[in-house]
Chain A
């Protein structure tokens, strides 16, 4: 450990029982990225679920907007230690998208415009736990925060909430996505502090 820097405290790290271990509370919304921000026109945007037979279920932006939309109020937790309470979003539940889909596979690989990937077990996408979100805080989701739409899976570390989401593929096994291949935990439960592999 380094020498203590007189008078330095860093960002506010108030202890709060509602915070997962090792997290601190922020009122900002930090932008972290693994690459350049893609610019996607909603006219070209599509979300695709590909099942194990190769069958693709596809929604255009307009088709997504025609589905039941939910208001979501939730806390979010980033592996880089910041947490944000009470964030508000609007999006379409993955339960709605999976309604007409038959699959025997238990895992998914999520894909984003720009090439980012992350793996999420199907059970963590269903049961009211995940959305394709396109509004944050009452405004259309900003490109630097993943707009036009991102995956929102707030019960896992936020790297799983893939920005610029464009679809997912059913997988037989829990294959690691981008960060998972580079050292992050394969699952990422903030309450068990599953940051790294």
Chain B
């Protein structure tokens, strides 16, 4: 079986493990009216790259199983990882994770998975992160990795949410804002009192005004519902970013 660790090749290709590991929920934190973050201890986890995800598998007493993918919000080398889940209406797994899961519960995870939608601290180019709703999760891992590594690469986050209460990680994002991490908040339904711009969706003007321009050749990461990601990615290419520099992760939905 493949062992964890740096490869000796020219690229740090993540080794994949198909094994299901059992984690124990250490704690949970309410983030939004429909979402919460979940801190999980997984013996032998050994860390993950920023942007990777896990598959979570739930098994009912009669043996019925459901599997869903969730981005990891952390990129720490420790055995503790954090997920953040938004409750999907009529969902089968997310309501359990958001409403029922308790500290002490066991959770089966497979991963870390995915080596493409990933930011590594060795990257020095500017980074534009664009998240819609719970699409912030893998971007948060990148932001945390950026802070922890002391990277001076310029990071800009554009975070689109329905309203202020629908944002994940609000306090931490505000605390991490610095010379090398700037944030543009976009409220699509209800803007906070006194907000200079009326509520409205991200459009071409928003992207032109509030993202690192193509002329600076940023690495771009876009994550969120499929419709949001595709509209944003198409517009970025129209604004001059190369398709190769724009990486996307679609969560499904509309």
Contact = CB atoms under 8 A, between A and B. Distances in A.
A and B touching (C-beta < 8 Å)?
A: yes
A37 to B, nearest CB: 13
Contact of A2 (B65, B90, B92, B102): B65
A10 B106 contact: no
Contacts of B90: 28
Interface residues of A, number: 13
B59 A5 contact: yes
Contacts of B102: 6
Given A2-B57, A3-B108, A8 B62 contact: no
B58 A5 contact: yes
B64 interface: yes
A2 B96 contact: no
Contact of A3 (B22, B64, B66, B96): B22
Interface string B95-131: 0100010100111100000000000000000000000
A17 interface: no
Contacts of B57: 2
B60 interface: yes
B108 A2 contact: yes
Contacts of B5: none
B92 A11 contact: yes
A57 interface: no
Interface residues of B, number: 21
B185 interface: no
B33 interface: no
Contacts of A13: 62, 64
A13 B62 CA distance: 10
Nearest to B90: A28
A99 interface: no
Give the interface centre of B58, B63, B105 by most chain A CB atoms within 10 Å: B58
A9 interface: yes
B61 interface: yes
Nearest to B91: A11
B59 A1 contact: yes
Contacts of A34: none
Given A2-B20, A8-B59, A8-B100, 20 more contacts: A1-B65, A2-B58, A3-B106, A3-B108, A4-B61, A5-B60, A5-B96, A5-B105, A5-B106, A5-B107, A6-B102, A6-B105, A6-B106, A7-B100, A8-B60, A8-B96, A10-B60, A10-B66, A11-B92, A13-B62
23 contacts: A1-B59, A1-B63, A2-B58, A2-B65, A3-B22, A3-B59, A3-B108, A5-B58, A5-B59, A5-B96, A5-B106, A5-B107, A7-B100, A7-B105, A8-B58, A8-B60, A9-B60, A9-B61, A10-B58, A10-B64, A10-B66, A11-B92, A13-B62
Counting from the closest, the 5 A-B pairs by CB-CB distance are: A2-B59, A5-B58, A8-B58, A2-B108, A10-B60
